[in-house]
Amino acid sequence: MTKTNAMRLLESHGVAFQTREYDVDPEDLSAETVARKIDLPIEQVFKTLLARGDRNGLCFAVIPGNTELDLKALAKGTGDRKIDLVAVKELQPLTGYIRGGCTALAAKKEFPVFVDETAELFDVISISAGQRGLQLLVSPQDYLRVTKGTVGAWGK
């Protein structure tokens, strides 16, 4: 297994994590499929989305795999009037990551991170390791510390 920049970043902060590898179907990158393949409940598998606000620019939203991003709540949390998801074609140039492998850890640029409050319900959450087919299991507290994440109700 290749060590990703996300893994290196966690190690540099002294954060313990586990990895889970799975076979990728490029036609199905859904969180539900990832959860099934790594044998975790869907609400424990978090997806990382990139959004752009009209006032404050780009941010990551990290929400449970079984929810949709609440754009109104996120806009309120970021201080924007309006916020939208970034187009998939912009994802790699902005973050260095591709769809299905996006993480707030060690992205090309540091953007504010907004983590859904349900993450704190678990001992570990699963997030992308920065490549398709590889997830990281990390404590929500460590993840929030490393990403300087803001907790709130961002999923619906």
Query: Looking at domain 5-152, does it have CATH number 3.40.50.300?
Result: no
List pLDDT tens digits, range 101-144: 999 999 999 999 999 999 999 999 999 999 999 999 999 999 99
Parallel, antiparallel, or unpaired: how do β-strands 113-116 and 46-53 relate?
unpaired
Q: Pull the structure tokens for residue 132.
A: 């398709």
Alpha helices in the chain (DSSP H): 5-12, 31-38, 71-78, 88-95, 140-147
List pLDDT tens digits, range 38-97: 999 999 999 999 999 999 999 999 999 999 999 999 999 999 999 999 999 999 999 999
Say what the pTM is: 0.95
Sketch the domain layout of the chain as residue ranges. 5-152
Say what the pLDDT of residue 27 is. Answer: 87
Residue 6 is given by DSSP the state: H
Say what the pLDDT of residue 22 is. Answer: 95
Q: Pull the structure tokens for residue 29.
A: 């990158």
Distance in angstroms between the alpha carbons of the first and the last residue of the chain: 34
